[in-house]
Amino acid sequence: MSATFDSIAAAVASAHTIGVASHIRPDADALGSTIAFAMWLRSLGKDARAFNEEGSTPKFHYLPGHELVATPPAAPQKFDLFVALDTSVKNRLGTVLGAIAPGTPLANIDHHVSNEQFGDLNFVDPTAPATGQILVEFFRHTGAEITPAMAANLFAAISTDTGSFQYAGTNERTFAAASHLISCGVDVPGLSRAMYDSQPRRRFNLLRHALNTAEFHCGDRIASFSLPLETVRELQVVPEDNEGIIDHLRSVEGVEAAVFFEELPEGKVRVSSRSKFPSIDVCKVCKIFGGGGHPMAAGARINGPLQKVKHDFLQALANEIRN
Ligand code: AMP
Ligand code: MN
Ligand code: MN
């Protein structure tokens, strides 16, 4: 069922124990939205529990309240309501799914155009460039107080998902939301330093490696970078180090799409793709391989080996670009 802000607020009002979670390999939109929503629920006196498959990873320890996010319990729990945020398909909740008892009402609040409307209540707004923006609009609609800690989480969500207010989808509502958050107490330079100028040296080493080994295809219209498990071991990088490396490939003049292939221990390959123009729909390409996302930023997990995934995906992407 399609939800409104009012129907979501009503579902929250009639529930007491409420779970909140987001997708595997969380980004700041996933965790920031989870934390802000859980903080709001707690301010209402709810028994709010926030989860992520990975808990709160060190990269996001700058988010105030990150310690609220726990790894999910192994056995199913009873919730009056469970809220999935920034999650396009149910199985992207990962191991969190095992913690939700069957029959639990599920609310799905998201901004992915490929969202599968898997909730009992679905609020999906693909015109929002971040789930954090939807939550700002939700809190303003319901008259909820946005504390400075909630504001920092929501600002981080919006800033990172929009590439610092640059990407398609960034519009006047985005700046209105950001402006409101600043009025609620966000320290923009301090938060930006934590988000963008505090990368571990490990990640710098990975970036250097990526720039040295990047490949160009399709008449230099596609740039790609592969990360085999062997290199992960050599550089001792962790999954969170990968985020954003792909943007350096897309930033090259003439490159219209960038792809990052990451070999995963379980035999799959995580593909991350970005396009530079709305006319090149990488979500469409990822969907061929069972993935999804947004038209200009999408991903998929594809059965390996790495070289075959690379070949097949680049071929499909070249077709999309040439058409
Ligand atoms: P990423 O490249 O991992 O930063 O993801 C880009 C966008 O695609 C995000 O909005 C993700 O939620 C979405 N996405 C990534 N991987 C998948 C997947 N396997 N299935 C569906 N959506 C995905
Ligand atoms: Mn996300
Ligand atoms: Mn998002």
CA of 160 to the centre of ligand 2 (A): 10
pLDDT beneath 70: ranges in the chain = none
Q: Which protein residue's CA is at the shortest distance from atom 12 of ligand 1?
A: 293
pLDDT at 32: 98
Token match 């001792």: residue? 236
Closest ligand 1 atom number to CA of residue 274: 2
Q: Which atom of ligand 1 is the closest one to the Cα of 300?
A: 19
Residue 125's pLDDT is 98
Instruction: Label residue 4 left, alpha or beta by phi (over 0 means left) and psi (-120 to 50 means alpha).
Output: beta
CA 302–ligand 2 middle distance (angstroms): 19
pLDDT of residue 119: 98
- Sheet strand arrangement including 268-275: 215-217, 222-227, 257-263, 268-275, 297-303, 292-294
**Alpha carbons 60 and 56: distance in angstroms, whole number:** 7
* Run of H or E including 70: strand 69-70
What is the number of the ligand 1 atom nearest to the C-alpha of 23? 12
E strand spans, 131-244: 215-217, 222-227
Q: What is the signed CA dihedral for 69, 73, 74, 80, rounded to 10 degrees?
A: -110
pLDDT of 1 = 72
Question: Given this model, what pLDDT does residue 257 score?
Answer: 98
Query: What pLDDT does 238 receive?
Result: 94
Q: Which residue's structure tokens are 């035999």?
A: 267
Radius of gyration of the chain (CA): 19
Q: Which residues line ligand 1 (CB under 6 A)?
A: 23, 88-89, 112, 272, 291-294, 297-301
Which residue is closest in CA terms to ligand 1's atom 11?
Answer: 293
Tell me which residue has its CA closest to atom 4 in ligand 1.
272
Domains of the chain (ranges, CATH numbers): 5-196 (3.90.1640.10), 202-322 (3.10.310.30)
